[in-house]
Amino acid sequence: MKKNASLFEKYRICAGSYNFEESEKILASCPQEYITPEICLNRAILLLLIDNEYSFEYIEQLYLKAIELNPNYADAHYELGKFYDVVMDDSQKSIKYLTIARQILLQQLGAVEEGIQDCIDYNPDKDFPFPSNFDAIQKRIFEKTDFCCDSMYSHLLGGDVAISYIKKYREYGIKVLDGGTSVQVLHYCPWCGSKLPESLRDEWFNTLRDMGYENPLDDDVPISYCSDLWWKDKQQYDK
């Protein structure tokens, strides 16, 4: 698996810097068994960003190949849905894949299992494909096994102290009470004293910029990067 991950990393760097020629060389020398859903999706996105001789039908097949390799790949469904909407002007297929992406992500986040289905009702004309309170849903969904102790888990869930956990950055902090969103990063748990994992904030920004997103906070980034799914998937992928 690590060889596979290393290949994707090389391809991602080339794709992120719009080095199309080099990225094509990597794919040409790559055995088919090492072609991953991530490579298929990133190549499709790259081809849409640069001038090339490939047709939209070929790009469509790359999206579909990513989904074939990993049917639960929410990003692939989401990006294909946007592709059908913006490029192919096919609203029916767009709605189909955006809906699947939403269902996959909500299931991965545990919304249904946590019994908060009533929180994920949405108006498709207003906030499709995700509900307007999607951020609130994510904040409410914490897996107890993700945290060092019961006190950390219960205080984050209850919101009764000025401690925060930003899932997409894997970052613990104490809120700065200045009316803004600043936090003082924590390196140890205030209750049990355990060392907390290092923040992935810099990696989050660097990874997205390598993928071609110049302003990750403002750009329409892949949906897994809106939660902890991107780094959890990467951890499993690198094993």
Q: Whole-structure pTM over 0.95, yes or no?
A: no
Maximum average pLDDT range among 18-27, 50-59, 77-86, 115-124: 77-86
Range list of H helices, 70-165: 74-86, 91-109, 124-127, 134-140, 150-158
22 and 93 co-located in one domain: yes
57 and 87 co-located in one domain: yes
What's the CA gap between 127 and 28, in Å, rounded?
A: 41
116: in domain: no
| Token representation of residue 26 | 């990597």
The rounded percent of the chain whose pLDDT value lies above 90 is: 18
Give the CA angle between residues 26, 47, 88 to the nearest 5°.
145
30-39, 92-101, 108-117, 215-224: segment of lowest average pLDDT? 108-117
37 and 102 co-located in one domain: yes
- pLDDT the model gives residue 12: 60
| CA dist 8 → 40, 43, 68, 218 (Å) | 10, 11, 18, 25
Task: Give the count of beta carbons closer than 10 Å to the beta carbon of residue 194.
Answer: 12
What's the CA gap between 212 and 103, in Å, rounded?
A: 26
94 and 8 co-located in one domain: yes
Query: Whose structure tokens read 């055995």?
Result: 31
pLDDT category at 202 given cuts 50, 70, 90 is very high
pLDDT category at 49 given cuts 50, 70, 90 is confident
pLDDT category at 203 given cuts 50, 70, 90 is very high
Of the candidates 153, 166, 169, 173, the one whose C-alpha atom is nearest the C-alpha of residue 204 is 169
Query: Whose structure tokens read 């692939």?
Result: 76
Q: Which domain holds residue 172?
A: 144-185
pLDDT digits (tens, 9 = 90+) for 220-230: 787 778 778 78
DSSP code string of 56-95: HHHHHHHHHHHHHH-TT-HHHHHHHHHHHHHTS--HHHHH
- Over 90: is that where the pLDDT of 186 sits? yes
Strands of 163-166's sheet in order across: 163-166, 171-175, 183-185
- Over 60: is that where the pLDDT of 40 sits? yes
- Over 80: is that where the pLDDT of 59 sits? yes
164 and 101 co-located in one domain: no
Average pLDDT over residues 142-160: 79
181 and 210 co-located in one domain: no
Give the CA angle between residues 148, 151, 155 to the nearest 5°.
110
- The H or E element containing residue 180 is none
27 and 82 co-located in one domain: yes
Maximum average pLDDT range among 156-160, 175-179, 190-194: 190-194
121: in domain: no
pLDDT category at 60 given cuts 50, 70, 90 is very high
162 and 216 co-located in one domain: no
**Which residue type occupies 103?**
Q
The rounded percent of the chain whose pLDDT value lies above 70 is: 66
19 and 48 co-located in one domain: yes
Whole-number CA gyration radius for the chain? 19
Q: How many domains does the chain have?
A: 2
- Over 80: is that where the pLDDT of 74 sits? yes
138: in domain: no
